[in-house]
Amino acid sequence: MEKRKEDKKEHILNIAEKVFSEYGYEGASTRLLANEACVNMAMISYYFGSKDGLLKAVLERRIAGLRKELEEVRDQDIVSWKKISMVIDVYLNRVLSNNCFYRLINRELSLAQRSELGEFISDSIMRNVHVFKEVIEEGIQNGSFNPVDVEMTIASILGTMYYMVNSSQVASKMLDKDFLDPEVVQHEIRPRIKQYLLDYLKAYLLKNESENK
């Protein structure tokens, strides 16, 4: 019985993520969410309390899942360069494989009238950014990374990733690649973005490349 409840809850969350991404918070009525998930509105209320509660559950599920992956990398006993490379790989994989989710985040953060939700999103994301920050600061402290502006370094990395997702039509023309084709994204776009970020960080962040292989 409990498994059936969890399966139903996950189903609602999966559908809600797509609906919120396409229509935004304001455009995604509870009735539309229920219809798309093939459940009644009372079930959404039962599991999530309200449309606000459903949206927060959608956001927290993805953000917390990413945080767990990042923390697992952070806690490994490996050289700092390998660690930052793995962190980028984890983050990039999430961003490109869940692009509708990141468009949803960008949409909601851009709406000043929903400041409470914006605070919830930004606070949740910052917990992930903090893990990113810890990895870079560890490398600085052990002498393998240059003493860079950590926050701006993170902004440059994430800015590149988010631009490719949130401006996919422009990015498709710029790279002459189809961002709507999952195979192209996985085998051509993702490796290219990662290689660019690693080349950038080698030049800017890495103190002694030979010591960090």
* Domain CATH code at residue 160: 1.10.357.10
pLDDT of residue 121: 82
Domain count, the chain: 1
| Within a domain: 91 | yes
| Within a domain: 81 | yes
| Within a domain: 23 | no
| Within a domain: 128 | yes
User: Burial level of 123, CB count in 10 A (0-12/13-18/19+)?
Assistant: exposed
The pLDDT tens digits of the residues spanning 159-180 come to 999 888 878 889 899 999 998 8
| Within a domain: 50 | no
- Considering the entire predicted model, what is its pTM? 0.81
CB atoms under 10 Å from CB of 115, counted, come to: 9
pLDDT of residue 211: 47
CA distance 159 to 154: 8
| Within a domain: 48 | no
| Within a domain: 173 | yes
Q: What is the pLDDT along the chain (213 residues), one digit of tens a residue?
A: 555 666 889 999 999 988 988 887 888 899 999 999 999 999 999 999 999 899 889 888 888 888 999 999 999 999 999 999 999 999 998 888 877 777 777 777 776 556 677 788 888 889 999 999 999 999 999 999 999 999 999 999 999 998 888 788 898 999 999 988 889 988 999 999 999 999 999 999 998 654 455
Boundaries of domain holding 112: 60-212
| Within a domain: 188 | yes
CA distance 87 to 140: 16
